Structure 1
Amino acid sequence: MSIPSGMLGVAWPSMQETFGVSLDALGTLLLVGTIGHISMSFLSGWLNERLGMGTYMLLNSILMLLGLLGYAFSPSWWLLVAVGLIGGAGTGALDSGLNAYFAANHNARLMNWLHASFGLGVTMGPIIMTAVLTRNLSWRIGYWVAVGLQLLLVLLFATTRHRWPRAVVAREGELEGGETAVSASAIFRMGIIWLSMGVFFFTAGTEGAMGNWAFTLFSEGRGVAVATAGLWTSVYWGSFTVGRIFYGLFADRMETNQLLRLNMIAIVVGALFIWLNLANWLSFVGLVVVGFALAPIFPLLVLQTPKRISARFANSAVGFQVGAAGLGLSILPAITGIVGERFGLEAIGLSLLLWSLILMGLHEWVIGHVRRKRKEKTAVLS
């Protein structure tokens, strides 16, 4: 599912030549895909509750397959942009659906390993596309490989459709027996959902800002060799997969809020190393610390959703949170770039520190909000 995401960056120069568009036209393609991804993330809970998990996953895997077929076939640029919307929608729906299902049915170990698998897929994408291009084959062949892999996923969902349980966690009979699903307006009236969406926004946004601007900060702002800056940026992204595998081994043995708090402190410390620029090697260490500490945060936050928000609302809430993460992944890197352009590249380091501090503060706010609500509920019951 995540393999095509890693292909685009490698394929883009060849695609640009095929369609005769400018280098920055990639932004249009990414924007449209993001719109599709976010839109389906917000709708995922509503669709899931009406279709059932098995049918939901099957239909959206077909939607993603259609998007990949469009990439492989598209004769014109604007048709490619249109199918990019379809592919983004399918990816967003599958992403939200799997996260909601794992949050309802599995533990921290499997949730971390699910996201580690996403990371492996993103890593495989560039490898596949590079292998295609180095053999002087068309970039479309790379997407045909992705089509074949996605077709296998469609067949897998088709054969297991009736074996999937509902992703919604029923509580005291709520939403069982086909009762009316939760409305979006009911969810948005809850203060906790806005706080949680803020945490997801800054989690994904901090991840994207670090990954997108570390290379520029090191190479252009601090005179680090291009190869060295590129190496440490790659290590940053690789630390997510390694970190999720590592944390998956013992995440169930620690209290989740404690683990999240420790990792957010580590992110702030790593960002501080990057900003202070005491030595290049300390900045590199800071970058890797940030990546390793960020690794389990998204999966653990998803896993906490049914515990922090009523189980009745959790399925839709996961979709809203994933949608907020998509917005953060687009907006915070853009703001960081504007700050760097306006105030100089060293301001990027300060921006990264600011995002990490806001993330930690919002998460503490969420913990306090949940604790206060539980005390109020206990007082009423007593």
Structure 2
Amino acid sequence: MFQILLVMIYLAFISLGLPDGLLGAAWPAMRVQMNLPMSYMGIISMIISVGTIVSSLQSHRLMLRFGTGKVTAVSVGMTALALFGFSVSSNLIWLCFFAIPYGLGAGSVDAALNNYVALHYSSKHMSWLHCMWGIGASIGPYIMSFALTRPSGWPLGYLLVGIIQVILTAMLFMTLSLWQHDETHEIPAEEPKKALTLKQILSISGAKEIMVCFFCYCALESTAGLWAASYLIGVRSLSDAQAASFASLFYVGITVGRAINGFLAMRFSDSQLIRLGQVLIGLGVAVLFLPVNHAAAALLGLLLIGLGCAPIYPCIIHSTPDHFGKENSQAIIGVQMASAYLGTTLMPPLFGLLGNGIGLFLFPVYLALILIGMVALHERLMKVHVEMD
């Protein structure tokens, strides 16, 4: 039964990544059909982000009341509903309406699964599971690309991914007993009867540090992913095709790096792997600073940044029960997820403003400053953890 549940969690992580790339891939066709400005995609993505933040902050309360299995199944079901809604939407109002369950479902399932894996599985599984997310995030745009070549167009892409989510929802409900069996053995004597408030969570030693550290990491990852192609075109003078292919290497680096990190996790601790990732990111950013116009330098820099990003997210999550105790892990992870979504929501647009007003050459400078903040906060967290021990 343990292995069946692990397979379900792997599938759930793939499912979690599937919808992430759909909006970006479909928007050029969607906006033309609905006669909308290009910038309106930001409205929809902002609603999704706000939904993920809200549901992440409520994840501790939901876990206590319903358990991980039910929250995961219902959340995936909400995502499926949102995808079906997108497939039949004909204007911006309906897209914004269905963006609400889209975000609420994603935030809950993300926090729930991350905490469950942190409590029940080793660090190698956390890395491999996030590798599965990368696979899902890569498959989603290919499904949409296939749909865009058909007469039905982009609605077919949302419909196909929605059907996959419905199938997974049914499988999750069928395996609820497996989740419930494990949850009955989870720290029954220490589990708080009431969900912690945000004030109580922030009062826990190290909570503020891990929140800002996670904010910085997700800000760096999302900024690098969204603006790499523009930087390569505007500063490195690469062609559109070259820039797109080179920028994709950043995500390849993350996905491959997490697969490798699963094996490294058998030998090294989470904190060691996080520091290794930060060093690799630093090397990648340093390469981008080199005054070299050759394409290979940009390729190497982005690949190193992607490889460096690979261990940080899963290792921070997996180390949470160790740093804050199993009884507080869901509350802390929920706040971490909210911090992550806040970083991905605010920081890439801020670089867009700076890049537009000053210049895209600031790209490595911006990444370096975020990296410095992340390193400082992580080292502060480790110091707090040592003092507590």
- Structure 2 CA distance for aligned equivalents of residues 109 and 285 of structure 1: 26
CA contact (8 A) 1:112 1:247 kept: yes
2:168 aligned partner: 153
Query: What's the offset of the Cα at 1:125?
Result: 0.8
**Which residue does the alignment assign to 2:81?**
66
For 2:3, the equivalent position in structure 1 comes to none
CA distance in structure 2 between the partners assigned to 1:358 and 1:169 by the alignment:
38
**Structure 1 residue 206 corresponds to structure 2 residue 204:** no
Does residue 22 of structure 2 align to residue 7 of structure 1? yes
Given that 2:111 and 2:334 are in contact with CA atoms closer than 8 Å, whether structure 1 keeps it comes out as yes
CA distance in structure 1 between the partners assigned to 2:228 and 2:289 by the alignment: 11
Q: Indicate whether 1:175 and 2:191 are aligned.
A: yes
Kindly tell me: are residues 259 and 370 of structure 1, through their superposed partners in 2, closer, same or farther at Cα, counting changes over 3 Å? same
Show CA shifts across 1:269-293 (max 9, x none).
Answer: 2112112334432232111101011
Measured at CA, do residues 303 and 115 of structure 1 come closer, stay the same or move farther in structure 2, by a change above 3 Å?
A: same
Residues 80, 165 of structure 2: 8 Å contact kept: yes
Select the residue among 96, 99, 102 that pairs with 2:111: 96
CA offsets 1:59-86 (integer angstroms, 9 cap, x no match)? 2122112111211122332011111111
Matches within 5 A, 1:27-106: 27-106=42-121
Aligned-partner SS, 2:206: helix
Amino acid at match of 1:253: R
CA distance 1:304–1:167, change in 2 (3 Å): farther
Find the partner of 2:264 among 228, 231, 250: 250
Q: Tell me how far apart the structure 1 counterparts of residues 130 and 264 of structure 2 sit (CA, whole Å).
A: 15
* Counterpart position of 1:372: 387
Cα pair 1:3 1:124 within 8 Å, conserved: yes
> Is contact 1:182-1:312 (8 Å) kept?
no
Change (3 A) 1:43 1:172: closer
- Please give the alpha-carbon distance, in whole angstroms, between the structure 1 residues aligned to 2:381 and 2:84: 42
What is the deviation of 1:172?
7.6
Q: Is the 8 A contact 2:61 2:194 kept in 1?
A: no
Q: Describe how 1:97-246 pairs up with structure 2 within 5 A.
A: 97-165=112-180, 170-171=186-187, 173-175=189-191, 179-246=193-260
User: How large is the Cα RMSD of the aligned pairs?
Assistant: 1.7
Partner of 2:6: none
| Superimposed CA distance per residue, residues 240-295 of structure 1 (whole angstroms, 9 cap, x where no aligned partner) | 11111111123121122122112212211211211233443223211110101111
- Farther-moved stretch of structure 1 (208-217 vs 297-306): 208-217
Q: Over residues 87-127 of structure 1, what are the superposed CA-to-partner deviations in whole Å (9 max), with x where a residue is unaligned? A: 11101111111111101111111101111111111111111
Cα deviation for residue 224 of structure 1 reads 1.8
Q: In percent, how many aligned pairs have the same letter?
A: 27
Aligned pair partner of 1:298 in 293, 313, 323:
313
Alpha-carbon shift at residue 137 of structure 1 (Å): 2.7
List alignment gaps of at least 5 residues for structure 2: 1-14
Structure 1 gap ranges (5+): 375-382
Change (3 A) 1:103 1:197: same
Amino acid at match of 2:333: V
Equivalent residue letter for 2:81 = L
Contact in 2 for aligned 1:7/1:126 (Cα 8 Å): yes
Contact 2:273 / 2:311 at 8 angstroms: preserved in 1? no
Which residue number in structure 2 is paired with residue 334 of structure 1?
Answer: 349
CA distance in 2, matches of 1:265, 1:369: 22
Which of 304, 310, 315 is matched with 1:289 structurally?
Answer: 304
In 2, the alpha carbon distance for the partners of 1:284 and 1:189 equals 43
- TM, length-normalised to structure 2: 0.91
Cα distance per residue 1:277-319 (max 9 Å; x no partner) = 3443223211110101111110010000001112211011111
Greater shift, 271-280 or 295-304, is seen at 271-280
1:379 maps to none
> Is the 2:48–2:103 contact (alpha carbons within 8 Å) kept by the matching residues of 1?
yes
| Deviation (angstroms), 1:199 | 1.0
Task: Indicate if the aligned counterparts of 1:169 and 1:314 stay in contact, CA closer than 8 A.
Answer: no
Distance in 2 of aligned mates of 1:319 and 1:92: 9
Aligned counterparts of 1:309 and 1:277: Cα–Cα separation in 2: 44
Equivalent AA in structure 2 for residue 180 of structure 1: K
Q: Does structure 2 retain, via aligned residues, the 8 Å contact 1:104–1:169? A: no
Deviations 1:311-360 (A, max 9, x none): 21101111110110111112121222222223222122211111112111
Aligned residues: 372
Q: Secondary structure at the match of 2:238?
A: coil
Match of 1:263 among 277, 301, 304: 277
Q: Give per-residue Cα distances to partners, 1:157-203, cap 9 Å, x unaligned.
A: 11011220466985481128xx3343433212124111101111011
Structure 1: how far apart are the matches of 2:292 and 2:67? 54
- CA drift at 1:222: 2.4
In structure 1, distance between residues paired with 2:349 and 2:39: 14
Note if contact 1:169-1:312 (Cα within 8 Å) is conserved in structure 2: no
